[in-house]
Amino acid sequence: MREAADQGATAEEMEALLRLGRAYYVVGLDHRPAIPRSLDALERARQLAIRLGDSHGEARALIPTHRHVDFDPGFRAQATENVNRALAIARELGDEDLEIDALRGTSRMGTIADRLGTIERIALERPGDLIALNEHLFDAMWTYWRSGHFMECVACCDRATALAGRLGIPPVQYGTIKSFALVDLGRFDAAWEALEQEVADDEHPFG
């Protein structure tokens, strides 16, 4: 990133900052002090995008900020403003992929009804982006469970677990969320089996 900045290549610096914002967020899942650095990198990327007149880049910097509400509920109003701005940009540009990414953010910041209304559209529009689909399905599990759609929650957990297997990543919390829905359905033996599938060790403290 320093090399790009030294060369005055602000577009390249913006891309580096976007990647840095994502990297800090991933680190922050286990090491909370990295989260503010993620937001800082994204904000710097946004400012560079505005300087460049790159509205697409601005939207890309705004969209990931909705994830930070998980760490700071007080950030919700700003995150909501950010993703709404990103969605408006995407629609102005007529960029369907960017719109779907923005919708993931606006749906998370909206009501349960808002989320239910966009779950399937988002999943269907981005079938080839498996990482994004996995993140979306994780959000969808919680949405289905919290809204009382327990059968849909179980099916979503199974779908996400299979996808995690394809990606070679551990399905952390998937089994637990599935067990919640199965308990609500009165399927206690199945709930226990789902809970036994949970990934819970020192490397995955969220399990």
C-alpha span between 145 and 122 (Å, rounded) = 18
Residue 207: what pLDDT? Answer: 45
Instruction: Give the residue ranges of DSSP H helices in 110-173.
Output: 112-125, 130-146, 150-167
Q: How confident is the model at residue 79 (pLDDT cuts 50, 70, 90)?
A: very high
Task: Identify the structural domains of the chain with CATH numbers, from first to last.
Answer: 1-110 (1.25.40), 127-207 (no CATH)
User: Residue 109 in contact with residue 143, Cβ under 8 Å?
Assistant: no
Residue 48: what pLDDT? Answer: 92
Give 157 or 123, the one with higher predicted confidence.
157
% residues pLDDT > 90 (the chain) = 59
Helix, strand, or coil (residue 180):
helix
Residue 140: what pLDDT? Answer: 93
